[in-house]
Amino acid sequence: MMEETVKSKKIRILLIDDEKDFGFFVKLNLEKTGRFEVTTTTSGSKGLILASKDRPDLILLDIIMPELSGGQVAEQLLENPDTAKIPVLFITAIASRTEVQSQQGTIGGRSLIAKPVTPEELMAKIDRLFAGK
């Protein structure tokens, strides 16, 4: 019985992306599966506060954003002991699918997925990140 409770726990995701519409649709598509609980913000600095406060299971992070870039946010996440171990999946429009595939879906040791991304692609990538956990 205890094992069923653990398996049914939703994966908590923090999405940090300055494109409000993208965030809305990612949240909608992931949450409608019943497997995910998604919090969104369009601000890197607010994302850092939410990550530290909420400690999500995964952070989806855009690379190109005003104020703080995704790289700067990722650096600050690593420097904070409360957030250093939270996996980050970069989501970007600056790399094509082909470029991402040629890098085996990683950049600087972090997972990467190219925009536009379908809900199925995103869920498959998240499933791979959590496989074996």
Q: Domain extents for the chain?
A: 2-130
Statement: the pTM of the whole predicted model exceeds 0.75: yes
CATH number for the domain formed by residue range(s) 2-130 = 3.40.50.2300
Q: What pLDDT, on the 0 to 100 scale, is given for residue 1?
A: 44
Interior/surface letters 52-79, b for 16+ CB within 10 angstroms, e for the rest: eeeebbbbbbbbebeebebbebbebbee
Give residue 92's pLDDT band: very low, low, confident or very high (50, 70, 90). Answer: confident
Backbone torsions φ then ψ of 128, nearest 5 degrees: -65, -40
Check: CB of residue 27 under 8 Å from CB of residue 40.
Answer: yes
- With a cut of 90, say whether residue 13 has pLDDT above it: yes
Distance from C-alpha of 50 to C-alpha of 41, rounded to nearest angstrom = 9
Give residue 112's pLDDT band: very low, low, confident or very high (50, 70, 90). Answer: confident
